[in-house]
Structure 1
Amino acid sequence: MDRINGQRGVARAEFASWWHAGRALWSGLDDAAGAMRARHLSAMLRVAPLTMGATALSVVLTAWMLQTTISSLALVLWSGSLLALCVHGFQGWWKRRNLHPETAGPVAIRRATAHAAVMGLGWAAASGAWLPVLDPTQQVWMVVVLMALMCGGTVALSLIPSAALSFLAIITSGLWVGLARSELQLVAPLIGLVGAYAVVMAALVVSAAHFYARGVLTEREASRQGEVFGLLLRDFEESSADVLWEVDRFGRFVNPSRRLAGWAERPADRLTQLTLMQLMKSLQPEGSSGVERLQQALDRGEAFREVPVRVQVASGQRWWAVTGKPLTDEQGVPCGWRGVLSDVTAARQSHQHVAYLAQHDALTGLANRTTIRNRVAQSLEAGGRRGALLCMDLDNFKLINDTHGHTLGDKVLQEVARRLRVHVRKGDVCGRLGGDEFAVVIADARSDDEVQAFAQRLVVSMRVPIEIEQASVTTGVSIGLAFLPDHAQTVDEAMVAADLALYSAKSSGRGRVEAFTSELGEIQRRRATLERELRQALARDELEVYYQPQVDLKTWTICGAEALVRWHHPDLGSISPAEFVPVAEATGLIHNIGAWVLAKASSDAKQLLPGLRIAVNASAAQVQRASFVNEVRQLLQRQELAVGQLEIEITESLLMEDVQTALENLHAIKQLGVRIALDDFGTGYSSLAYLRRFPFDKLKIDRAFIRELTSTSDARAIVRTILQLARVLGMDTVAEGVEEPAQLEVLQHVGCGSIQGFLVARPMPVQSLIQLRESWAKLPRPLFEGALPESVLAELPPAESR
């Protein structure tokens, strides 16, 4: 049942489609209907001479057959009328035989329908009026002719459904009337047979008209799509940077465009005589293999995409990407290729530039860190040959940037790169690792002395002043040297070995060459061990805070103490802060350690050391953190320390880094009631400008000046100046590293505020400091036995006289 219903639905859809097509032919006024009518009429007119001729012959023969029974006048009038219709139809064909109209109006369809109807009426009238009076032979002739006309004429008129159905209905009606009036014995079967034929022919008309109309519509749509495709192709060639190409089965170009001819630098008519491969080979520069890859792609007979081909044209070398798809005819036989030609020169150059940047430093053009590491790896893998890695660092480059600006600093780096290229041998690689760090990889180090001599030449070359923008800039270079594979088995080991040697060179005075040694390796292993163990030190409670008291010189009382972190490792023993603090700063552990020391010192100050000012060292990394101020604020709230009991000490190195952030944080900490002290004053980068901008409460005179206080006039002058400066700016002073009574005598003579050092006490645990405070009043004050030299006293007038 479902199948039957489905078939009925299809039939209804087909009928509806035919009905709408018929209505469009009969009365549609749109362009599509006009074009459809023109196609139907043209198709019918092509067979008009045959149909008119066959009809005229039928009229003449019928009149001749019926002349013995029908009157001559009736036959003349009947045959003359039908022949006139045939002549009229033939004349219509003759006038339009060379015309190919693109559109036709509804009137043309109606005329064709009227012509067919009148022709059908002529035959129907003869059948209805004469068939009963004819003799049997004439009746058979008449029935056969009418049946032939009913079938043939309907088929000839089937492209115009209204004309075909009108003709069929009239002929069928006339034949029925004639048969019904006759006395033939087989009248009923004949009438049924005629009716059956009529139904079949009507169905054929409907089907033929429908399929022809659908074919015309399909052809029209294909033509429209072809026009659209052509427009798109033209628009593509006009607006796109690509070019279309097509070749026949022999590889010769078909309809080459002007743009393709322009790319090929040949006339379009000349291109039709060339094959694609001939053109590409004629443009291929020597040494290129792109054309061979294109030939291989064509030989496979499959579609291919963007085969790169390098060509030489008048504008220079270009890169073309060829994309193609095979074409086949209706039988599936290959008949050529069609594709797109793209100029990818810019993309290729961009890719090459990116690849270059991936291996080279953008500023200097030298190899970058990645390339240096790759060359070190190649040197390590080259069995039987020794290599060498030189790591270099410019001396005083930061000062050049700060003094002359980064633009001139960049030019200095470029000049250094140029000098490196001059000295580096072919086969060796020089590169920039970043900042002012450079490296050279020597592929074949024939002897240690030869490499050392090469490094020394680089040191001498870099000492020559650099003349840039009317400025003479003097720099130098320190070089660390590692031999491969003597000093390393991996790339990382080689880089570390050269860095350690470089660090040793800089520590030994700069401007020199140092080679890696086993002792430096021990230092690195020690550092790695400290880093690993330091990460667990807090969790294992191995760190402890010691305190070194500070004594007021006027009252000789303990006025404060500096909190100092100590590390007692169960296996390594006591580790000096000078050794583990740099490791903590380099690894970022200084944040956790600094926060812990600050919290422990604040807790001790509140609970165990009331009334004592506690100074805590803060690293540059801590002070520059945005969260440092909040950490201090929360600590003060939690411990409820008295205002001014906590003091933060910073070093001068902080002043040379992120000054603005540090300044903002120090001001914010100062507003919390925390004092700020500048440690190691006079040894680094401090200036009066920094002292004005930063809210310091105390200056700590570095132990280097105190050590030479009684023996060097320069040290005494510096100490005197620092004390005068502090008094002018309203700052307290502390002298560090006081170890001798003579130093105490001098400091008291010049008016120093307080002292700190072994003369008073060494750093001690908090319980020892508590005991020291309790017994301090009973302890004797250190005295200097003797008198200061007159020269010293002359240089240091007492503070009261100034």
Structure 2
Amino acid sequence: MLGADEERISETQQHQFAQFGGGWPAALIAQGLASALMLWTAAQQRDEQATLLLSLYAAITLILGIAALAVAKIGAVRLAPHLQVRLVAAAGAGLGAGLFAMLWMAADIDIVIWQLANFIAVFGAIVVTITVMQSVRAALLSFAAAMVVGIMVAVGIGVMSGIAITFFGCLAFTIAGMARLDHIKAAARAAQSNQDALARRLVHEFEDHGSGWFWQTDRHGRLVYLSTKVAEEVAANGASAIGQLLTAVFKVDSASPDTERTLGFHLSSRTSFADYSVRPVADVAERWWSISGRPMMDAMNRFQGFVGSGSDLTQKRQSEAEITRLALFDGLTGLANRQRMRLSLDQTLAAPQSGTRATSLFLLDLDRFKAVNDTLGHQTGDTLLKQVGQRLQRSVGDAGLVGRLGGDEFKVVLPREANRDRLAELARTIIASLSQPYFIDGSSITIGCSIGIAIAPEDGADSETLVRNADLALYAAKADGRGIHRFYRAELLLGAQKRKQLEDDLRKALAQDEFHVAYQPVVCTRSERIVGYEALLRWDHPTRGAVSPADFIPVAEDCGLIEAIGEWVLRTACEDAATWPNGIRVAVNVSPIQFANPALPAIVTSALARSGIPAERLELEITEGVFLNESASSDNMFRALKGIGVRLALDDFGTGYSSLGYLKKAPFDKIKIDQSFVKGAAIAGNRNAAIIKAIVTLADTLGMETTAEGVEVQDEIQLIRDLGCSHIQGYVYGKAARAAVVIEHLQATGGMATAVGFRASRSPRSSMLRSARITTEGAEGEVRIRNMSATGAMIDGIEIDGDAAGIDILIELLEDQMFPAKLRWAADGKAGIEFAQNFNMERLSQPAPAAAAIRRSA
């Protein structure tokens, strides 16, 4: 086994040996030829022993010379470096020993001239070898030592021997120096070899396992090297990429800002380029790479081709594509998302033809979708949204771009469409399609859809304005009953601006003490004693004057002010109630937003503690809206409020969207019957009385009190009493008043209520001015109808004495149609009549039969 240094030195010596070529074999062959000449001389002198030895020596040197020539020059025999070096060393030592033997024999043979010739030939060959090779130091030294000894033996001690010894010393010194140089060169060559090997390993590792690769072309742009993994991928129909033009193997990606011409330009102009995105020309796979390259120059600055590197962009491109998809498409429905819809609308409006061709925008909102999520779960809701997206896409087709904005909101952009009739027809088609039942996991689900429509440029030339106006139209569609479409109108923006101004003023109203609380009495039906007051919020605006709660309460709920305002009303009402007699309660409205606040029980407790009134004197009025999101939190809130000891009343009963099921578990103390059921209940033929009776019966069964709201006419008091309702509230006992007025009234009346206002209920009247014929007791004349209701009318232009009240008459309400009536009063040329049967007021707006017949015949 050889050490690492010996192996490296052997490789160096082999390299030097190969560079020398035929020098050492020539020396061996020259030695053999010289021995042959000596052999000829010995043969002439008939010295058999010398002839035999010289023949053997000449044969050996000639054979060794020819073998060395085959190894070094011809390359017929391949030997390891150390074997070649050992072979040369052995040959050198053998030559030295042989020369010594020849010189020894020459002492007995008279061939001094041939000895010198032999010496000169061998020594010359050795000098040449030392000068060129430096590869067989041990052999040279042994050969030189043998020659020196041979010279000393042949010529004795003298000048020649001194010269030989001196030369040998110089040779030994020189060879020692060369040995040191050999070690240095061997170490340098080994280091370079290791570095090259490491570089090759790193390159192979990088090419095999990394994303990078390398390429090289010749002077003509043809590939002479390409990493294996890339070469296999770009091969088309099994053809190798090596030898092909670089531009015939790769093409610049169309998504890149560069072009194939640009890549060819760099190759032809011999300029560097970097980070060009390319794809295989053969399109064998969805692959992308980034390549860079630079020209190569030789030592004479002559162009040799291009060398460069590349990296894999496939995963990056696929990731970018996925990111783009996620950025521009809705992950649930696959429709365009808010970002893409905005970009599409911007591009459509910015197109050159947009100034002459209109663009329409639909904003859609699903009706009753929240109930699906709350009752059937979000997974069902997501499935429903997918089906909605599919139906919407089918309805719109190629007419426009459909997208989902989020939640249950969708948008449709319709380029080059402004015809209102076609847009209305499409809107009706969409609403009809989305309103058809959906079947999901065995459940049949029915929802609705409302649509707002805006048309550019008349409704807005930019996307922001157009979207805002479409949203206003959508808001109007919801306000008008849902399940319909509405086009944008200028008054919608005006209303929105007024609403925004109202919101701004509302934010300042509480801080600037513009609110006050008014109290409307709640009266016991049987005793007509005031048992409590309802606290009603009033707003006196410094410039608008009195603002109706119907106008500002919804705004306060939308903008998040209702909780602060509601808490202020609660605290104020409790403090005012503290000044009333102990038996009188105060009722405060609680909005669904307040009810959903977990802090409500603490707020109520704080208000009671601060005012000092007992909890049972506070009544919280809650609307059915709190049951739209019925959950465990609602039950907990009811328990917490009842735990405080306050009373709970269900306000506006019968007008909400919930079922009667909540009455089984909600701990209400009172049901308030909405005024829509009370109004007109005393008029003959009205069904409201029956509804009130049913509600009262239900409340009595559940052990709850009842309050009839909105009682305005005195004859309704007796009706409400007869129907069994326990309390009455309304203008019939006075309008709401401030706390100071309430105290004065309680002190003045002793807590008793007095009915005021109209005594009898009457149907709603319509003012008009129309002529009519009237017949009474055989007399006929013309009168004018001033106002009219379903039960009677007021007329003037009649000359009848007041004592004629109660007589029967006939009056022409419709053309050529007389209706019986009774005169109830007459004075100053005016009279009031009561129809024998209720008259359908809608018939007044219908065309007369004769006129209608004329129009039909025309």
Match runs of 1:450-489 below 5 Å: 450-452=419-421, 454-456=423-425, 458-459=427-428, 462-463=431-432, 466=436, 479-488=451-460
Partner of 1:351: 321
Partner of 1:729: 702
Q: Does 1:275 align with 2:270?
A: no
The correspondence for 1:323, drawn from 282, 288, 291, is: 291
Q: Does 1:98 align with 2:98?
A: no
Change (3 A) 1:781 1:632: closer
Q: Give the secondary structure class of the aligned counterpart of 2:513.
A: coil
Q: Distance in 2 between matches of 1:45 and 1:384?
A: 86
C-alpha deviation, 1:677, in angstroms: 3.2
More moved, 582-591 vs 304-313: 304-313
The correspondence for 2:660, drawn from 664, 683, 688, is: 688
C-alpha deviation, 1:693, in angstroms: 4.5
Q: Does 1:387 align with 2:355?
A: no
Change (3 A) 1:99 1:524: same
Q: Give the secondary structure class of the aligned counterpart of 1:759.
A: helix
TM-score normalised by L of structure 1: 0.70
Q: Give the secondary structure class of the aligned counterpart of 1:266.
A: coil
More moved, 157-166 vs 770-779: 157-166
> What amino acid is the match of 1:419?
S
Q: Give the secondary structure class of the aligned counterpart of 2:677.
A: helix
> What amino acid is the match of 2:465?
E
The correspondence for 2:714, drawn from 718, 730, 741, is: 741
> What amino acid is the match of 1:701?
I
> What amino acid is the match of 1:265?
A
Change (3 A) 1:498 1:612: same
The correspondence for 2:395, drawn from 404, 419, 431, is: 419
C-alpha deviation, 1:296, in angstroms: 4.7
The correspondence for 1:500, drawn from 472, 479, 492, is: 472
Partner of 1:204: 178
Q: Does 1:333 align with 2:287?
A: no
Change (3 A) 1:293 1:460: same
How big is each residue's C-alpha offset from its partner over 1:474-513, in whole Å with a ceiling of 9 and x where there is no partner? 8776554445444445543333333333433443455655
Q: Distance in 2 between matches of 1:588 and 1:460?
A: 37
Partner of 2:829: none
Q: Distance in 1 between matches of 2:342 and 2:5?
A: 82
> What amino acid is the match of 1:586?
D
Q: Give the secondary structure class of the aligned counterpart of 2:671.
A: strand
Q: Distance in 1 between matches of 2:549 and 2:481?
A: 23
> What amino acid is the match of 2:178?
L
Q: Distance in 2 between matches of 1:628 and 1:172?
A: 122
C-alpha deviation, 1:220, in angstroms: 5.2
C-alpha deviation, 1:142, in angstroms: 13
Partner of 1:266: 237
Q: Give the secondary structure class of the aligned counterpart of 2:650.
A: strand
> What amino acid is the match of 2:735?
R
Q: Distance in 2 between matches of 1:37 and 1:57?
A: 26
Partner of 1:705: 677
TM-score normalised by L of structure 2: 0.66
How big is each residue's C-alpha offset from its partner over 1:355-382, in whole Å with a ceiling of 9 and x where there is no partner? 5961679637468575257536854886
Question: Can you give the 5+ residue segments of structure 2 that lack an aligned partner in the other structure?
Answer: 42-46, 107-112, 763-858
Change (3 A) 1:779 1:670: closer
Q: Distance in 1 between matches of 2:142 and 2:623?
A: 114
Q: Give the secondary structure class of the aligned counterpart of 2:691.
A: helix
Change (3 A) 1:693 1:344: farther
Q: Give the secondary structure class of the aligned counterpart of 1:268.
A: coil
Q: Distance in 2 between matches of 1:699 and 1:752?
A: 10
Partner of 2:515: 543
Q: Distance in 2 between matches of 1:318 and 1:324?
A: 20
Identity %: 26
Q: Distance in 1 between matches of 2:588 and 2:280?
A: 70
Change (3 A) 1:785 1:520: closer
More moved, 479-488 vs 358-367: 358-367
Q: Does 1:527 align with 2:495?
A: no
Match runs of 1:18-29 below 5 Å: 24-26=4-6
Alpha-carbon contact 1:677-1:697 (below 8 Å) kept: yes
Change (3 A) 1:510 1:177: same
CA RMSD of aligned residues (A): 5.9
Q: Distance in 2 between matches of 1:567 and 1:79?
A: 141
The correspondence for 2:692, drawn from 705, 719, 738, is: 719
Q: Give the secondary structure class of the aligned counterpart of 1:680.
A: strand
Q: Distance in 2 between matches of 1:41 and 1:552?
A: 127
Q: Distance in 2 between matches of 1:648 and 1:165?
A: 123
Q: Distance in 1 between matches of 2:321 and 2:536?
A: 56
The correspondence for 1:375, drawn from 320, 342, 345, is: 345
Q: Distance in 2 between matches of 1:36 and 1:608?
A: 119
Q: Give the secondary structure class of the aligned counterpart of 2:687.
A: helix
Alpha-carbon contact 1:676-1:696 (below 8 Å) kept: yes
C-alpha deviation, 1:524, in angstroms: 1.6
Q: Distance in 1 between matches of 2:420 and 2:49?
A: 132
Q: Give the secondary structure class of the aligned counterpart of 1:539.
A: coil
Change (3 A) 1:191 1:645: farther
Alpha-carbon contact 1:698-1:731 (below 8 Å) kept: yes
Partner of 1:295: 264
Alpha-carbon contact 1:252-1:275 (below 8 Å) kept: yes
> What amino acid is the match of 1:328?
M
Change (3 A) 1:591 1:776: same
Q: Which has the higher helix share?
A: 1
Alpha-carbon contact 2:9-2:183 (below 8 Å) kept: no
Q: Distance in 2 between matches of 1:93 and 1:186?
A: 31
Q: Give the secondary structure class of the aligned counterpart of 2:476.
A: helix
Alpha-carbon contact 2:27-2:122 (below 8 Å) kept: no
Q: Give the secondary structure class of the aligned counterpart of 2:706.
A: strand
Match runs of 1:537-616 below 5 Å: 537-553=509-525, 557-601=529-573, 613-616=585-588
Q: Distance in 1 between matches of 2:572 and 2:101?
A: 129
Alpha-carbon contact 1:290-1:308 (below 8 Å) kept: no
C-alpha deviation, 1:765, in angstroms: 3.6
Q: Distance in 2 between matches of 1:774 and 1:480?
A: 56
Q: How many positions carry a matched residue from both structures? A: 733
Change (3 A) 1:343 1:639: same
Q: Give the secondary structure class of the aligned counterpart of 2:731.
A: coil
Alpha-carbon contact 1:538-1:593 (below 8 Å) kept: yes
Partner of 1:14: none
Alpha-carbon contact 1:123-1:174 (below 8 Å) kept: no
C-alpha deviation, 1:688, in angstroms: 2.6
How big is each residue's C-alpha offset from its partner over 1:246-281, in whole Å with a ceiling of 9 and x where there is no partner? 654334454776974675432326x55653434668
Q: Which has the higher strand share?
A: 2
Report which structure shows greater RCO (CA 8 Å, sep ≥6): 1
How big is each residue's C-alpha offset from its partner over 1:721-764, in whole Å with a ceiling of 9 and x where there is no partner? 32333333333433332333333333333333433333345334
Q: Distance in 2 between matches of 1:76 and 1:746?
A: 165
Match runs of 1:17-166 below 5 Å: 24-26=4-6, 33=7, 37=10, 40-41=13-14, 43-44=16-17, 47=20, 50-51=23-24, 53-54=26-27, 90=65, 93=68, 98-101=76-79, 104=82, 158-159=134-135
More moved, 725-734 vs 386-395: 386-395
> What amino acid is the match of 1:759?
V
C-alpha deviation, 1:87, in angstroms: 6.8
Question: Can you give the 5+ residue segments of structure 1 that lack an aligned partner in the other structure?
Answer: 1-20, 27-32, 131-136, 790-802
Q: Give the secondary structure class of the aligned counterpart of 2:622.
A: strand
Q: Give the secondary structure class of the aligned counterpart of 2:708.
A: strand
Q: Distance in 2 between matches of 1:40 and 1:214?
A: 14
> What amino acid is the match of 2:424?
A
C-alpha deviation, 1:654, in angstroms: 2.8
Q: Distance in 2 between matches of 1:46 and 1:312?
A: 48
Bigger CA radius of gyration:
2
Change (3 A) 1:199 1:354: same
